[in-house]
């Protein structure tokens, strides 16, 4: 049997750091990293929010979009900090645990890029297009 290369967890701290760095974000500056979790009910989303807030994260609970086929409640977690692999790994593990309780979905993360002062974002876009 052929050995397959290790595929990194898309929600690991290292992958998050790699993505931020790839797009030119200054990893020495504070980032507000958000984590998207979906739950079947308001009660489940609020329970997850309370558990996340207990660990120091902030949380927002949002109802499903009216007239949408998606009836899931969003629990959006925020963690403003200087990106750190171990902190991000811990938050990702927490997200996995929260959604596992309800057999639901951890949909990933996002963060605004924090570009170094004086950086022209169009240069980064052109560089990424050329790759």
pLDDT in tens, 7-56: 456 678 999 999 999 888 999 999 999 999 999 999 999 999 999 999 99
Q: Residue 74: what pLDDT?
A: 94
CATH number of domain containing 39: 3.30.70.970
Question: Would you say residue 106 lies in a domain?
Answer: yes
Question: Would you say residue 83 lies in a domain?
Answer: yes
CA 26 to each of CA 15, 95, 110, 114: distance values in angstroms, whole numbers, following the listed order: 15, 25, 15, 6
Per DSSP, the residues of 2-56 read PPPPPPPPTTSHHHHHHHHHHTT--TTS-EEEEEEEEESSHHHHHHHHHHHHHTT
| pLDDT, average across residues 57-84 | 90
Q: Give pLDDT tens digits for 83-121.
A: 999 999 999 999 999 999 877 888 889 998 888 887 777
Residue 73 pLDDT more than 80?
Answer: yes
Question: Would you say residue 125 lies in a domain?
Answer: no
Question: Would you say residue 44 lies in a domain?
Answer: yes
* Structural element, H or E, at residue 73: strand 73-81
Q: Residue 34: what pLDDT?
A: 95
Domain holding 96, by residue range, is 28-112
Q: Residue 118: what pLDDT?
A: 79
b vs e for 82-113, b when ≥16 Cβ sit within 10 Å of the residue's Cβ? Answer: ebeeeebbebbebbeebbeebebebbebebee
Residue 128 pLDDT more than 90?
Answer: no
Question: Would you say residue 130 lies in a domain?
Answer: no
Tally of domains in the chain: 1
Chain length of the chain: 131
The CA R_g of the chain, rounded to the nearest whole Å, is 17
Question: Would you say residue 61 lies in a domain?
Answer: yes
Residue 4 pLDDT more than 50?
Answer: no
- Cα dihedral sign, 67-39-111-15: negative
Which residue is listed with tokens 């979790």? 37
Question: Would you say residue 8 lies in a domain?
Answer: no
pTM for this entry: 0.81
């Amino acid at each position: 049997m052929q050995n397959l290369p290790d595929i990194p967890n898309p929600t690991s701290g290292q992958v998050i750091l790699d993505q931020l760095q790839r797009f030119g974000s200054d990893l020495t500056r504070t980032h507000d990293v958000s984590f998207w979790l979906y739950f079947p009910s308001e009660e489940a989303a609020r329970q997850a929010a309370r558990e996340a807030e207990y660990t120091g994260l902030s949380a927002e609970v949002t109802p499903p979009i009216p007239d949408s086929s998606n009836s899931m409640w969003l629990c959006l977690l925020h963690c403003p900090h200087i990106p750190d692999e171990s902190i991000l790994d811990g938050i990702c593990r927490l997200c996995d645990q929260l959604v596992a309780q309800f057999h639901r979905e951890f949909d990933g993360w996002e963060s605004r890029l924090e570009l170094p002062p004086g950086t022209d974002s169009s240069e980064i876009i052109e560089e990424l297009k050329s790759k």
